[in-house]
Amino acid sequence: MSTESMVKGMEKHLGLVGRPNVITKAYAARNGAYFEKAPWCNMTITEVARATGNYNEVCFGKDFAYTVWHAQEFQRRGQWHTDVAGIQRGDIVFFDWGGSNSIAHIDHIGIVTDVNGRDILTIEGNTADRCARRVRHADTIAGYGRPKYREAAAPAQPAAMTYTVKRGDTLSKIGQVLGIQWQDIASLNGLRSPYTITPGQALRLPGRPPAKK
């Protein structure tokens, strides 16, 4: 299938929270009851790949719940890239919270939705036990796998996702209303302590970047 079908499949699960959930139950139905309450970041990638017809491209026809094994499979097939050089939408990104580029130390997985300078925009399952958008940086990214999607045409760029600041708004309040971590909004907009925002200010949100002119 395609990059877009995989990303859209991930988007359908945004807001999913807790476990067991539809992801863990589907995975457990094939692989055992233990997985109903197990960490589900890689299960999310597996289940979305199955549902969108990207199972062979993303998972090589295998179910993955363990991120290290999934990254090793990308590496074995020559589709592994260390760190973030060249990373793009649709890539399967792997994280090591310890900051190494070692596959053996990988902790987490997601899919890249966009790249904006040093900001890597993702959708991840089991991030704080929910499926959510995140903004990540190279210091936590061990590397990424690039699936050989069958449709290589680049999608049209949609309009930017933005929010216009209203009187009385704070980053915390905006994040709570929109279901986005306020720290991600701050990072994406280059805001630093004391995180001052003003009415009428347009804030970019974790999602898609503006169309290139």
Whether 156 maps to a domain, the answer reads: no
Q: Which range is most confident: 107-111, 147-151, 182-186? A: 107-111
pLDDT classification of 213: cutoffs 50, 70, 90? very low
Q: Is the domain of 35 the same as that of 71?
A: yes
Q: Is the domain of 108 the same as that of 200?
A: no
d(CA 213, CA 202) in angstroms, rounded, equals: 19
Please state the φ and ψ torsions of residue 147, each to the nearest 5 degrees: -65, 150
pLDDT at residue number 212:
44
Range of the domain at 112: 3-145
Q: Is the domain of 171 the same as that of 91?
A: no
- pLDDT higher than threshold 50 for residue 103: yes
Q: Is the domain of 105 the same as that of 16?
A: yes
pLDDT classification of 159: cutoffs 50, 70, 90? low
pLDDT at residue number 177:
85
pLDDT at residue number 209:
47
Residue 70: both structure tokens together: 């999934």
Whether 150 maps to a domain, the answer reads: no
Which residue would you say has higher pLDDT here, 176 or 128?
128
Whether 114 maps to a domain, the answer reads: yes
Count of domains observed in the chain = 2
- pLDDT higher than threshold 50 for residue 153: no
Q: Tens digits of per-residue pLDDT, 165-188?
A: 999 999 999 988 888 889 889 988
Q: Is the domain of 93 the same as that of 46?
A: yes
Q: Tens digits of per-residue pLDDT, 18-68?
A: 999 999 999 999 999 999 999 999 999 999 999 999 999 999 999 999 999
Q: Tell me the β-bridge partners of 135.
A: 121
Which CATH number goes with the domain that contains 191? 3.10.350.10
Decide if 68 contacts 103 (C-beta within 8 A): yes
- pLDDT higher than threshold 70 for residue 97: yes
Q: Is the domain of 169 the same as that of 125?
A: no
Whether 98 maps to a domain, the answer reads: yes
d(CA 147, CA 74) in angstroms, rounded, equals: 8
Please return the burial class of 198, using the count of CB atoms within 10 Å of its CB with bins 0-12, 13-18 and 19+.
exposed
pLDDT at residue number 58:
98
- pLDDT higher than threshold 60 for residue 124: yes
Q: Is the domain of 90 the same as that of 167?
A: no
pLDDT classification of 207: cutoffs 50, 70, 90? low
pLDDT classification of 120: cutoffs 50, 70, 90? very high
d(CA 71, CA 91) in angstroms, rounded, equals: 12
pLDDT at residue number 145:
98
Return the H-helix or E-strand segment holding 120.
strand 119-124
Signed CA dihedral, 54, 205, 145, 142: sign only: negative
The long-range contacts involving 172-178, CB below 8 angstroms and separated by at least 24 positions, are 174/203, 178/205
Whether 15 maps to a domain, the answer reads: yes
pLDDT average, residue stretch 118-126: 95
Q: Is the domain of 28 the same as that of 115?
A: yes
Q: Tens digits of per-residue pLDDT, 83-92?
A: 999 999 999 9
